[in-house]
Amino acid sequence: MSKKYNLLEKLILRIIQFKITKWFNHEKKLSQKTGFILSSELSPEKTWPNPKKITKGGEIPFSMQNIKVIGKYLKSCIKQGELAVTSINKNTKSPDNSITKEQLSDFVKFAESLGIKQIGYTKIPRELIFKERAIRYDNAIVLIKEMDKEKIAKAPSIETFRTVFETYDTLGIVTNKLTDYLRKNNFYAQASHPLGGLVLYPPLAQKAGLGKLGKHGLLITPQFGARQRISAIFTSIENLPITDNNEHDWISQFCDSCNKCIKKCPPKAILDEPIIHPSKRETHIIRSKCLPYFNENKGCSICLKECVFSYSDYYKIKKSFLNILKKKYHKKYI
């Protein structure tokens, strides 16, 4: 349903719509480039934010109060998101495809100095690339940045709302800096901004062995629970230390026994039984219920706040839960 806005609000929404449309058009042009890896028939649509719906209301958490809180972060996110796409022209035409241990160690140290807490490496399958988007290489460096624990605990609140968008913005800036770092070392690098980006991040981070998806659709990691944002860099480096095994698979069983996010979700947007997509990917979120509440309640984040992993010791939970399974089924779980 369309909302009524005054002239100033309409103008601001038009500007946001114009800037996001420009950014996304740059992304779409990637699929027209020679040599780029395209999405597949099983790939998801990039459904949020939808520039065509922005001026009608309900697509983004827009109000004059909200814009005063997150406006500078949103503006920077759009700028950095567009830069992530257009800066691929800085890449060398003859990039290296192998990195030394020393070079990778230096990269990780630089990332840590910029606030990146966890890094994973994987090959990205085409079905995780959004439709109408493309990447040059399928070697992925996945970056994770923590969101402030105390501010997330206040959700839904202005403090929570601000820290979510501040994290998006900071991670976007850092992702571009790390991308430039790789280019200066003669590697091809393509940044993907955390606010949307070119690919579906949670399953990509899961594939990189960084954590496991919960029913709330968020990545759960040992370090931060569900309190993080994710970005990625696609690179020519072929010898990244890729992790194929996921030691966090037990979380799915734990979520089946917990379901706290389902019980605490105000709009009842999280399902117990999964929605099976054509790609066989499973999700539990009803977007048509989640997004309106998200927009009207300072970005909500209640599922993130209520996830037991966000504030409890991951390894204590794991030990206790696996002991319960062992006693119940007389099997050894690892």
> What's the rounded mean pLDDT across residues 182-204?
96
Report pLDDT for 326.
79
Q: Tens digit of pLDDT for each residue in 44-61?
A: 999 888 898 888 877 888
Q: SS3 for 141?
A: strand
- What is the C-alpha to C-alpha distance for residues 98 and 82, in angstroms, rounded to an integer? 28
Is residue 327's pLDDT more than 90?
Answer: no
Tokens of 47: 């459904």
- What is the C-alpha to C-alpha distance for residues 132 and 31, in angstroms, rounded to an integer? 6
Report pLDDT for 282.
87
Report pLDDT for 93.
93
Report pLDDT for 74.
94
Report pLDDT for 72.
95
Average pLDDT of the chain, as a whole number: 93
Among the ranges given (118-127, 214-223, 320-329), the one the predictor scored with the smallest mean pLDDT: 320-329
Report pLDDT for 1.
45
What is each CA distance from 94 to 90, 185, 285, 297, in whole angstroms? 12, 12, 43, 49
> What's the rounded mean pLDDT across residues 103-112?
98
Q: SS3 for 97?
A: coil
Report pLDDT for 60.
84
User: Which residue from 195, 193, 269 is spatially nearest to 232, judged by alpha carbons?
Assistant: 193
Domain ranges of the chain: 1-334
> What's the rounded mean pLDDT across residues 131-141?
97
- What is the C-alpha to C-alpha distance for residues 119 and 141, in angstroms, rounded to an integer? 7
The torsion defined by the Cα of 229, 233, 237 and 243, in degrees rounded to 10, comes to 20
- The residues, any chain, with a CB within 8 Å of residue 334's CB and separated by 6 or more, are 247, 322
> What's the rounded mean pLDDT across residues 247-251?
94
Tokens of 265: 């979700």
- What is the C-alpha to C-alpha distance for residues 319 and 69, in angstroms, rounded to an integer? 41
Is residue 149's pLDDT more than 50?
Answer: yes
Is residue 331's pLDDT more than 70?
Answer: no
> What's the rounded mean pLDDT across residues 84-106?
97
Q: E strand or H helix at 123, and its extent?
A: strand 118-123
> What's the rounded mean pLDDT across residues 297-314?
94
Tokens of 123: 């090959």
